[in-house]
């Protein structure tokens, strides 16, 4: 699912209308949350438009309504422009803030944050004779694989016969756990959580190649049948790891700045670097916005207010500058990290680790 979301974000980052500020509708909506939200926002926008812009908006909303009525699920993100025969949508498996935005390009920040905060991982639930391997994406299980082995658990005889039985049983368990390990290696997730009762899960970890062991986030002791509890616990662990990584990224940025190394910070420096393709990792304060303008003709973005571009004389569009930086980052394949770390505020609310100076 995140692969589809990542592909959509990349496609949307390339889409804009150089001739109009009022072309693309971005709708984030949770069905049943506010039945009048779309109606209110539509009425407000209608009062502000005229001519071709109003006609495009009206027809675009009709296109969106048709999709909503036919096949959309509860939590949705829709991006559309009737003028450009453009309609994309994705169902999000958890609640999002209701937004309806009309602009010269699609509004990406909510889905970019989702991609950053809900990372994929593999969950392995294993015992001495059974295992389940789950792929988890956007907080939901998207694929599962079950494995089992017929391994005897008890032996009533004593002496050598019992010792031989125990050796055979240990060998059978080892063979089964090796099979599970081979199945896990077919998957390419770089985050793995292993769980189960008793000692089998620890034996399983020991059987994994070193490069796979390095991807193990945690090993959890839990009953083999408690899958729902395990999923919630695993999501929490991945979330906590994401917070740690976010903090470490900000500290890395701070260290590079102190060394006058591969880093930029603040809106103007970061914007220039990301437009030049220099940024490897972009760090953005989660809820920060900055009013600015863009000239779609020469792709110039600045903070503040300008009606006419001072360089080419074309009409500008009002934008959130951080949204524009985000779009440039997606186009240049930069990683994106949203953070609430307090130190990002002291660095101008945004910064970047550079590929080169």
pLDDT in tens, 80-100: 999 999 999 888 777 788 999
230 located within any domain: no
Are 10 and 113 found together in one domain? yes
* SS3 assignment, position 346: helix
CATH number at residue 83: 3.30.960.10
pLDDT at 168: 73
Strands in 216-221's sheet, in edge-to-edge order, are 140-148, 130-137, 121-126, 192-196, 216-221
pLDDT at 174: 86
Residue 71: pLDDT band by 50, 70, 90 thresholds? low
Are 284 and 297 found together in one domain? yes
The end-to-end CA distance of the chain, in Å, is 35
Q: What is the mean pLDDT of residues 160-186?
A: 81
Residue 268: pLDDT band by 50, 70, 90 thresholds? very high
Higher-pLDDT residue of 42 and 96 is 42
- pLDDT exceeds cutoff 80 at 341: yes
- pLDDT exceeds cutoff 80 at 212: yes
Are 356 and 260 found together in one domain? yes
Q: What does the mean pLDDT of the chain come to?
A: 87
The domain of 195 spans 119-225
* SS3 assignment, position 290: coil
CA distance 13 to 333: 11
236 located within any domain: no
State the number of CA atoms in the 13 A half-sphere of 280 facing the CB: 10
Per-residue model confidence as pLDDT tens digits over 286-310: 989 999 988 878 878 888 888 898 8
Q: What is the mean pLDDT of residues 124-150?
A: 86
Rounded to the nearest 10 degrees, the angle between the axes of helix 109-117 and helix 227-258 is: 110
Are 85 and 6 found together in one domain? yes
Which of 94-98, 165-169, 336-340 is most confident? 336-340
pLDDT at 284: 96
- pLDDT exceeds cutoff 90 at 248: yes
End residue of a domain, out of 117, 143, 159? 117
Are 301 and 277 found together in one domain? yes
pLDDT at 70: 67
pLDDT at 96: 80
The percentage of residues in the chain with a pLDDT greater than 70, rounded to a whole number, is 94
Are the CB atoms for 114 and 5 separated by under 8 Å? yes
Q: How many domains does the chain have?
A: 3
Are 157 and 85 found together in one domain? no
- pLDDT exceeds cutoff 60 at 352: yes
106 located within any domain: yes
pLDDT at 73: 62
pLDDT at 257: 95
234 located within any domain: no
pLDDT at 223: 78
End residue of a domain, out of 117, 136, 153? 117
CA distance 176 to 198: 16
What per-residue string of b and e applies to 213-250 under the rule 16 or more CB within 10 Å gives b?
eebebeebebebeebeebbebbbebbeebbeeebeebb
pLDDT at 95: 75
Q: What is the mean pLDDT of residues 320-348?
A: 92
Are 167 and 256 found together in one domain? no
- pLDDT exceeds cutoff 80 at 163: no
In sequence order, which residues have a C-beta less than 8 Å from that of residue 323 and are 6 or more positions away? 107, 108, 109, 289
Q: What is the mean pLDDT of residues 25-43?
A: 88
- According to DSSP, the β-strands at 130-137 and 121-126 are antiparallel
Are 306 and 341 found together in one domain? yes
């Amino acid at each position: 699912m995140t692969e589809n979301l990542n592909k959509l974000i990349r496609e949307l980052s390339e889409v804009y209308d150089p001739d109009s500020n009022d072309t693309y509708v971005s709708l984030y909506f949770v069905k049943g949350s506010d039945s009048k939200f779309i109606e209110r926002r539509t009425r407000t926008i209608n009062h502000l438009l005229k001519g071709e812009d109003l006609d495009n908006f009206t027809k675009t909303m009709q296109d969106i309504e048709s999709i909503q009525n036919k096949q959309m699920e509860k939590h949705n993100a829709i991006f559309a422009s009737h003028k450009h025969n453009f309609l994309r949508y994705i169902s999000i498996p958890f609640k999002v803030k209701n937004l309806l935005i009309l602009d010269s390009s699609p509004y990406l920040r909510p889905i970019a944050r989702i991609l950053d905060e809900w990372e994929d991982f593999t969950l392995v639930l294993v015992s001495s004779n059974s295992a389940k391997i789950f792929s988890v994406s956007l907080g939901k299980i998207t694929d599962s694989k079950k494995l089992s082995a017929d391994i005897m658990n008890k032996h009533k005889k004593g002496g050598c016969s019992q010792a031989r039985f125990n050796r055979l049983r240990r060998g059978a368990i080892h063979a089964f756990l090796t099979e599970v390990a081979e199945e896990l290696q077919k998957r390419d997730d770089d985050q793995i959580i292993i769980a189960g009762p008793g000692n089998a899960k620890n034996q399983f970890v020991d059987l994994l190649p070193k490069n796979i062991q390095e991807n193990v986030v945690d090993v959890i002791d839990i009953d083999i049948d408690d899958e729902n509890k395990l999923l919630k616990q695993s999501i929490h662990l991945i979330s906590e790891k994401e917070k740690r990584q976010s903090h470490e990224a900000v500290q890395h940025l701070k260290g590079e700045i102190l060394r006058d190394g591969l880093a930029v910070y603040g809106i103007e420096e970061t914007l220039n670097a990301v437009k030049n393709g220099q940024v490897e990792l972009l760090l953005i304060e989660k809820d920060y916005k900055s009013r600015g303008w863009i000239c779609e003709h020469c792709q110039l973005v600045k903070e503040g207010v300008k009606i006419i571009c001072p360089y080419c004389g074309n009409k500008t569009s009002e934008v959130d500058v951080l949204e524009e930086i985000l779009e440039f980052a997606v186009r240049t394949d930069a990683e994106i990290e949203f953070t609430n770390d307090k130190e990002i505020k002291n660095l101008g609310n945004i910064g970047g680790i550079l590929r080169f100076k």
